[in-house]
């Protein structure tokens, strides 16, 4: 990972405002930004560890642990809530065997919250490995479960 950071900063610069693009690049490369790599990031951009840690934890988009092989995101924002999102969230956690916000012990999938996908009229909505799924109900959950079992 340190070589990756070196190569990236050589291409894109190492001024402090490069932090967000670098974090995105790392997440793309490794799937997440490991806490252990934070000192190297700080060193590369001449920031403190705290600076980098603050930014990573501020943006929900950045993961600090490897995600499951599949990622299911359920919308938790107002409209989806109004359309039964809370119940679906519970059902999903039970059916998929993983609490909200966590990765299943076998590493197969992560269940994560998301806040509004812009599909409010047809909620509750989900993203399954980046693909939107509207009107999530029990049947939809079964399909999702099957999909992420692979």
Partner 1 sequence: MTFARETDHGTPPALSTGKTVTLTIDGQSVTLPEGTSIMRAASLTGGSIPKLCATDSLESFGSCRLCLVEVEGRAGYPASCTTPVADGMVVRTQTDRLKQLRRGVMELYISDHPLDCLTCAANGDCELQDQAGAVGLRDVRYGYDGATNMGQLKDQSNPYFDFDPSKCIVCSRCVRACEEVQGTFALTIEGKGFDSKVSASQDDSFLGSECVSCGACVQACPTASLIEKKVVETGTPDRAVVTTCAYCGVGCTFRAEMRGEELVRMVPWKEGKANRGHSCVKGRFAWGYARHRDRILNPMIRASVSEPWREVSWGEAIAHTASEFRRIQAKYGTRSIGGITSSRCTNEETFLVQKLIRQGFGNNNVDTCARVCHSPTGYGLSKTFGTSAGTQDFDSVMKADVILVIGANPTDGHPVFASRMKKRLRQGAKLIVIDPRRTDLVKSPHVQAEHHLPLRPGTNVAMLTALAHVVVTEKLYDEAFIRARCDWDEFQDWADFVSEPARSPEAIEPLTGVRADEVRAAARLYATGGNGAIYYGLGVTEHSQGSSTVMAIANLAMATGNVGREGVGVNPLRGQNNVQGACDMGSFPHEFSGYRHVSDDATRGLFERAWGVRLDPEPGLRIPNMLDAATDGRFKGIFIQGEDILQSDPNTHHVAAGLAAMECVVVQDLFLNETANYAHIFLPGSTFLEKDGTFTNAERRIQMVRKVMAPLNGYADWEIVQLVANAMGLNWTYDHPSQIMDEIAALTPTFAGVNYDRLEAEGSLQWPANEAAPAGTPTMHIDGFVRGKGKFVVTGYVPTDEKTGPRFPLLLTTGRILSQYNVGAQTRRTGNTAWHPEDRLEIHPSDAENRGLKDGDWVTLRSRAGETTLRALITERVAPGVVYTTFHHPETQANVITTDFSDWATNCPEYKVTAVQVSASNGPSEWQQDYAAQARNSRRIAPLEAAE
Our finding on whether 16 is near partner 1 (CB under 8 A) is yes
Question: What is the 3-state secondary structure of 50-112?
Answer: HHHHHHHHHCCCCCCCCCCCEEEEEECCHHHHHCCHHHHHHHHHHHHCCCCCEECCCCCEEEE
46 in contact with partner 1 (CB under 8 A) = yes
Contact, 59 vs 101, CB < 8 A? no
Judged by CB under 8 A, the number of residues near partner 1 is 15
Contact call for residue 44 and partner 1 (CB under 8 A): no
Residue whose CB is less far from partner 1, 2 or 137? 2
User: Is the CB of residue 1 less than 8 Å from the CB of residue 37?
Assistant: yes
Q: Is 42 in the site for partner 1 (CB under 8 A)?
A: yes
Q: What does 120 interact with, of partner 1, ligand FES, none (CB < 5 to 8 A by kind)?
A: ligand FES
CB of 39 to partner 1, least distance (A): 8
**Position among 53, 69, 104, 135 found at the interface with partner 1 (CB under 8 A):** 53
110: DSSP letter: E
């Amino acid at each position: 990972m340190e070589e990756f950071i070196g190569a990236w900063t050589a291409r894109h610069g190492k001024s402090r405002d490069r932090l967000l693009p670098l974090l995105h690049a790392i997440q793309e490369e490794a799937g997440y930004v490991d806490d252990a790599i934070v000192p190297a990031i700080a060193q590369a951009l001449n920031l403190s560890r705290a600076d980098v840690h603050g930014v990573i934890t501020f943006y929900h988009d950045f993961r600090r642990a490897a995600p499951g092989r599949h990622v299911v995101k359920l919308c938790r924002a107002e409209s989806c809530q109004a359309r039964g999102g809370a119940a679906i969230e519970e059902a999903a956690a039970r059916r998929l065997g993983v609490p909200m916000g966590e990765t299943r012990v076998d590493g197969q999938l992560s269940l994560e919250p998301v806040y509004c996908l812009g599909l409010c009229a047809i909620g509750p909505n989900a993203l399954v490995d980046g693909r939107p799924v509207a009107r999530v109900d029990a049947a939809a959950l079964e399909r999702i479960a099957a999909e992420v079992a692979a």
